[in-house]
Amino acid sequence: MFTGIIESFASVKEIIREGTNVHFELSSKLAPELKIDQSLAHDGVCLTVVSTSPDSYRVTAIDETIKKTNLSQWNIGKKVNLERCMSANGRFDGHIVQGHVDQVGKVKRISDQQGSWIFDIEFDQNSGNITVEKGSITINGTSLTCFNSIPGGFSVAIIPYTYEHTNFHQLQEGDWVNLEFDIVGKYIQRITKGYS
């Protein structure tokens, strides 16, 4: 389980395709602390560490993950948000994040508020996912609060600290981002629609 509080960055060093799998070699200051089989959220996607070295590590994404996330658009040098799993005695500073991306969304507009930034995000509402006003959302692994919530869209406000310490400062209008909707909202929606 994750909380959506980004710890660090990784930079994509190498991309290796093997059948339908894609191996990503990433460099990060966290690399010396990582262990094989450890789960690590990359832009909100939970991936397993399969090998390590003093300054880099490797994860593998299967075809299903590539199709449902923005990993197919990663390239060499891309900066990726990282979060390790929450420790049992850690503080719960964000919200419940599984690292299971529900779908991608598109950055529709970025508005500079001269001290903060408003990001308007749109997504395919036919997926059945919803946001609620002042509810939680995870964008590229970052725990945020929605407003201007409408079918297929919402906004988030990004403070300077978050802007600088996540990859929000690299996002541009038209970019695709990974979205994980609030787990409580997903269960309520399934109950009210009669899904099992």
pLDDT per residue as tens digits for the range 64-111? 999 999 999 999 999 999 999 877 666 666 677 888 899 999 999 999
| 107 and 11 Cβ atoms separated by less than 8 Å | no
pLDDT score for 96: 75
pLDDT score for 184: 72
- Provide the sign of the torsion angle of the four alpha carbons 24, 30, 32, 37, taken in this order: negative
189: left (phi over 0), alpha (psi -120 to 50) or beta: alpha
Lowest-pLDDT choice from 15-19, 129-133, 165-169, 176-180: 129-133
Residue % of the chain over a pLDDT of 70: 90
Q: What is the mean pLDDT of the chain?
A: 91
Where does residue 106 rank: exposed (0-12), middle (13-18), buried (19+ CB within 10 A)? middle
pLDDT at 11 over 80: yes
Residue 148 tokens read as: 């201007």
Prediction pTM value: 0.86
pLDDT at 157 over 70: yes
How far, in Å, CA of 154 to CA of 44, rounded? Answer: 18
How far, in Å, CA of 152 to CA of 131, rounded? Answer: 9
Three-state DSSP class for 168? Answer: helix
How far, in Å, CA of 148 to CA of 167, rounded? Answer: 22
pLDDT score for 1: 78
Res. 182 pLDDT band, cuts 50 70 90:
confident
Query: Which of 93, 14, 13, 6 has the alpha carbon at shortest distance from 44?
Result: 6
pLDDT at 195 over 60: no
pLDDT score for 119: 98
Residue range 152-178: average pLDDT? 96
How far, in Å, CA of 14 to CA of 27, rounded? Answer: 9
How far, in Å, CA of 75 to CA of 73, rounded? Answer: 6
